[in-house]
């Protein structure tokens, strides 16, 4: 059949499988979408199924549209009536058709996340709930999490008074949605599951209709989605699951990697086919990925290979600091562009959103067009702009736009009417909002006056502090950090706020002595209207704010422009690039420090690294830094364990491993002064060994570590060493048996 042309043997076997449950382990770049769409076309063309008898489910509307487009290209049929879509889209379709049975009005409205949050706030207000204790976003997270587990309010276990109150709010929210005919996104799946569970007639109808159920990205399904699929799988139905357990990286969204193994066991799957031929990457990149993921114990197992040859070795670079790492990446990008690569062929990946700041700064300084994929540039992120607004008020309380941005953020009970009164008073007096708020009386004056006192206290307490400490003080005193601790995905926002402290530290260290900083000061002074008060807490605060404004300007390349792509490793899934840089490969960063203590956490981090590695087609760079700013302080790092898990044969170190950096000495800051400590000749070799803060050393029991501190001398000398997985250790040098790494 022409339809089957250009399929490799494993793809052909998958497409033409008999009518039995099947699980296709589709490795990265192995032609997963081709297999899925060709399977559908083959079923129709051979008469095994009609277009109306197929249900195909995926996770994004984009993927669903691509599947339909490919099917249309292979078959002379109208695909508009086919049931191909996302879980939520297909459930919405069922609920629209059977709204009465589902207990919904015919024209029920679907709530997006913002609309859902508004309903939650209305419910909290109607129940007279303290929003400081039960924050709306935290309540929204609780409700959605329960629904994704398939639990109504009455099914949620109560542990204490707090959880009891949360359950009461959940029940009231459900009742409010019922009265108004509303359904949030998790409700679509839960309501559809409940409908099919209790209505045997409907369940039998759909089981009889959809004899072939095809599931894309099986590894990303959550528990309720898997239960929904099981409901639809009647006696004669066939589930064709396609996925890659090695690329399951969305546990934080509820994805359950164990669903694939459960499916294989519960449905007694005999047809398990591995698509291992990779059409994307060269051999050395795949060897690195295979070796890395082999350290995960709970996997179904496969080994990627390619007919494209070994290709170039994987390049590894050790930088002295995160700033130097970013500048080296920028220089390497310039070199690649000179070689003839387009900037859009190049991606820089990182574990945490906060890491983008130093990379953006390096690319901007080097004049390299870049674009942050799937997110905002650092200084444009909501939480960063909130923090900068507070800092702007410290530098100049008469900054009206900053005042309006944070007067009620975090929420402090200042309503729109109170803000209007302040604005009216300011217009009447011809002054600033700050001045009007300071003199306002009545109920509005009391609420807004508390905010004015808060900012005034911050200004007073920040006076005389170094710039990084000013930023840190504002983050705590404003309540921003506490606010984001309550959000479901608040960890990223907190990391971005902490990175703002790092930005201030780097600004003081690197930017202030330069002409660029002086120009920023001049620009800030010229633009100030009215001028910033002379008693501003830090004379360089205005310069830092100007620097932030310049960095948040129109630096990012436009849509479709030739630009380097910056993104997190999570955002990179499904994409591919000729050149990939994976930066920040340090213990505690990648893998993330939280992963070590969480069940399956480290294995998911390794899967995320596997996804990052397999984005590269022709050239892969791995980089890490000996030191990195964290909370405004220098942290000495241990290289990521993932580097040790990649075979040395496929690696090319651009710097001596564990040694001093090479290159133009003038381009690097001097290393910390050597710390020379005497040691017994019989224990540590002849004579005195030179050690320095920041040096890599070997210990016979704890392995490789970094010296982060030292004290004492002679026989009493001891050093503090960060051994990464083994933790921080104080060791007496005389007995430590340390050797340079």
**Marked catalytic residue, from 184, 216, 332, 538:** 216
Q: How far apart are the first and last CA of the chain?
A: 61
**Marked catalytic residue, from 148, 184, 187, 217:** 217
In whole angstroms, give the CA distance from residue 542 to residue 218.
Answer: 52
Question: Is 247 known to be catalytic?
Answer: yes
Q: What is the phi/psi pair of residue 728, to 5°?
A: -90, 135
User: If you write DSSP's letter for every residue of 359-377 in order, what string do you get?
Assistant: HHHHHHHTT--EEETTS--
In whole angstroms, give the CA distance from residue 421 to residue 406.
Answer: 16
Pull the structure tokens for residue 688. 């005195």
Q: How many CB atoms lie within 10 A of CB 663?
A: 11
In whole angstroms, give the CA distance from residue 98 to residue 532.
Answer: 63
Question: Is 594 known to be catalytic?
Answer: no
Taking the alpha carbons of 461, 463, 468, 469 in that order, is the dihedral positive or negative? negative
Residue 111 gets the label, from left (phi > 0), alpha (psi -120 to 50) or beta, of beta
In whole angstroms, give the CA distance from residue 620 to residue 164.
Answer: 51
- DSSP classification of residue 253: G
In whole angstroms, give the CA distance from residue 206 to residue 107.
Answer: 23
- DSSP classification of residue 717: -
Q: Which residues contact 403 (CB under 8 A, 6 or more apart)?
A: 389, 393, 397, 432, 433, 434, 437
Which residues does residue 114 pair with via DSSP β-bridges, in sequence order? none
In whole angstroms, give the CA distance from residue 51 to residue 28.
Answer: 28
> What is the enclosing helix (H) or strand (E) of 4?
none
Q: Tell me if 578 sits within 8 A of 618, measured CB to CB.
A: yes
Q: Tell me if 458 sits within 8 A of 473, measured CB to CB.
A: yes
- Which residue shows structure tokens 């499916």? 263
Which residues does residue 647 pair with via DSSP β-bridges, in sequence order? none
Nearest Cα neighbor of 148 from 78, 220, 96 is: 220
Per-position b or e across 340-358, b if 16+ CB within 10 A of its CB = ebebbbbbbbbbbbbbbbb
Q: Tell me if 299 sits within 8 A of 600, measured CB to CB.
A: no
Question: Is 216 known to be catalytic?
Answer: yes
CA distances, 507 to each of 329, 360, 539, 540 (Å): 20, 14, 13, 10
**Marked catalytic residue, from 247, 565, 634, 695:** 247
Question: Is 615 known to be catalytic?
Answer: yes
In whole angstroms, give the CA distance from residue 279 to residue 495.
Answer: 37
Pull the structure tokens for residue 419. 């803000």
Q: Tell me if 304 sits within 8 A of 286, measured CB to CB.
A: yes
Residue 488 gets the label, from left (phi > 0), alpha (psi -120 to 50) or beta, of alpha
**Marked catalytic residue, from 34, 615, 641, 718:** 615
Q: What is the phi/psi pair of residue 503, to 5°?
A: -60, -40
Q: Tell me if 568 sits within 8 A of 349, measured CB to CB.
A: yes
- Which residue shows structure tokens 């970094």? 706
Question: Is 676 known to be catalytic?
Answer: no
Q: What is the phi/psi pair of residue 432, to 5°?
A: -85, 165
Q: Is 367 exposed, middle or buried (0-12, 13-18, 19+ CB in 10 A)?
A: exposed
Q: Tell me if 530 sits within 8 A of 398, measured CB to CB.
A: yes
Q: Tell me if 350 sits within 8 A of 326, measured CB to CB.
A: no
In whole angstroms, give the CA distance from residue 547 to residue 397.
Answer: 19
Please list the active-site residues.
32-33, 216-217, 247, 615
């Amino acid at each position: 059949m022409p339809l089957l042309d250009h399929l490799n043997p494993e793809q052909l076997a998958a497409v033409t499988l008999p009518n039995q449950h099947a699980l296709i382990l589709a490795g990265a770049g192995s032609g997963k979408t081709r297999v899925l769409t060709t399977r559908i076309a083959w079923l129709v063309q051979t008469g095994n199924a009609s277009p109306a008898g197929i249900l195909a489910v995926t996770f994004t509307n984009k993927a669903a549209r691509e599947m339909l487009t490919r099917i249309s290209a292979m078959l002379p049929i109208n695909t508009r009536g086919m049931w191909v879509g996302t879980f939520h889209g297909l459930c919405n379709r069922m609920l629209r058709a059977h709204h009465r049975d589902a207990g919904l009005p015919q024209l029920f409205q679907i709530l997006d996340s913002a609309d859902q949050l508004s309903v939650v706030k209305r419910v909290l207000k109607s129940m007279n709930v303290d929003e400081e204790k039960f924050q709306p976003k935290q309540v929204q997270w609780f409700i959605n999490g329960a629904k994704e587990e398939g639990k109504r309010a009455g099914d949620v276990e109560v542990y204490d008074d707090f959880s009891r109150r949360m359950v009461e709010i959940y029940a009231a929210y459900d009742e409010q949605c019922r009265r108004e005919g509303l359904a949030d996104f998790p409700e679509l799946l839960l309501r559809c599951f409940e409908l099919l569970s209790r209505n045997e007639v409907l369940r039998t109808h759909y089981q009889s209709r959809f004899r072939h159920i095809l599931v894309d990205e099986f590894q990303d399904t959550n528990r309720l989605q898997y239960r929904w699929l099981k409901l639809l799988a009647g006696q004669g139905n066939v589930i064709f699951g396609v996925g890659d357990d090695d690329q399951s990286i969305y546990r934080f969204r509820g994805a359950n990697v164990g669903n694939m193994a459960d499916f294989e066991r519960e449905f007694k799957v005999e047809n398990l086919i591995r698509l291992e031929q990779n059409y994307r990457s060269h051999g050395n990149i795949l060897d690195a990925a295979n070796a890395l993921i082999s350290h995960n114990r709970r996997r179904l197992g496969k080994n990627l290979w390619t007919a494209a040859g070994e290709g170039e070795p994987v390049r590894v670079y050790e930088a002295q600091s995160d700033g130097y790492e970013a500048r080296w990446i920028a220089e390497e990008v310039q070199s690649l562009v000179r070689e003839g690569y387009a900037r859009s062929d190049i991606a820089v990946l990182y574990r945490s959103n906060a890491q983008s700041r130093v990379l953006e700064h390096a690319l901007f300084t080097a004049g390299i067009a870049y674009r942050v994929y799937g997110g905002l540039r650092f200084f444009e992120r909501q939480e960063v702009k909130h923090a900068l607004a507070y800092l702007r008020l410290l530098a100049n309380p008469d900054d009206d736009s900053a005042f309006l941005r944070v007067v009620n953020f975090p929420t402090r009970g200042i309503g729109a009417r109170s803000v209007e009164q302040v604005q009216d008073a300011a217009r009447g007096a011809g002054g600033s909002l700050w001045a009007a708020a300071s003199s306002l009386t009545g109920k509005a004056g009391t609420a807004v006056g508390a905010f004015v006192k808060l900012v005034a206290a911050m200004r007073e307490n920040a006076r005389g502090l170094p710039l990084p400490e000013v930023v840190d003080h504002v983050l705590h005193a404003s309540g921003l950090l506490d606010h984001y601790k309550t959000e479901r995905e608040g960890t990223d926002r907190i990391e971005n706020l902490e990175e703002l402290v790092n930005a201030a530290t780097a600004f003081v260290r690197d930017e202030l002595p330069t002409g660029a900083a002086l120009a920023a000061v001049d620009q800030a002074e010229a633009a100030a209207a009215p001028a910033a008060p002379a008693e501003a807490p830090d004379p360089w605060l205005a310069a830092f704010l100007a620097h932030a404004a310049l960095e948040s300007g129109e630096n990012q390349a436009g849509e479709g422009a030739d630009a380097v792509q910056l993104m997190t490793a999570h955002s990179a899934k499904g994409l591919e690039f000729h050149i990939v840089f994976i930066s920040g490969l340090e213990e505690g960063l990648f893998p993330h420090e939280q992963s070590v203590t969480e069940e399956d956490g480290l294995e998911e981090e390794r899967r995320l690294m596997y996804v990052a590695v397999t984005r590269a087609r022709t050239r892969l760079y791995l980089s890490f830094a000996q030191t990195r700013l964290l909370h405004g302080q220098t942290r000495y790092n241990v290289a990521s364990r993932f580097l040790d898990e990649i075979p040395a044969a496929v690696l090319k170190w651009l710097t001596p491993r564990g040694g001093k950096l090479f290159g133009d000495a003038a381009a690097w800051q001097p290393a910390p002064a050597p710390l020379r400590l005497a040691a017994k000749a019989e224990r540590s070799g002849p004579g005195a060994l030179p050690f320095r803060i920041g040096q890599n050393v070997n210990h016979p029991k704890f392995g490789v570590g970094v010296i982060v501190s030292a004290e004492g001398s002679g026989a009493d000398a001891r050093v503090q060493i960060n051994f990464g997985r083994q933790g921080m250790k104080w060791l007496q040098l005389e007995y430590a048996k340390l050797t340079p790494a």
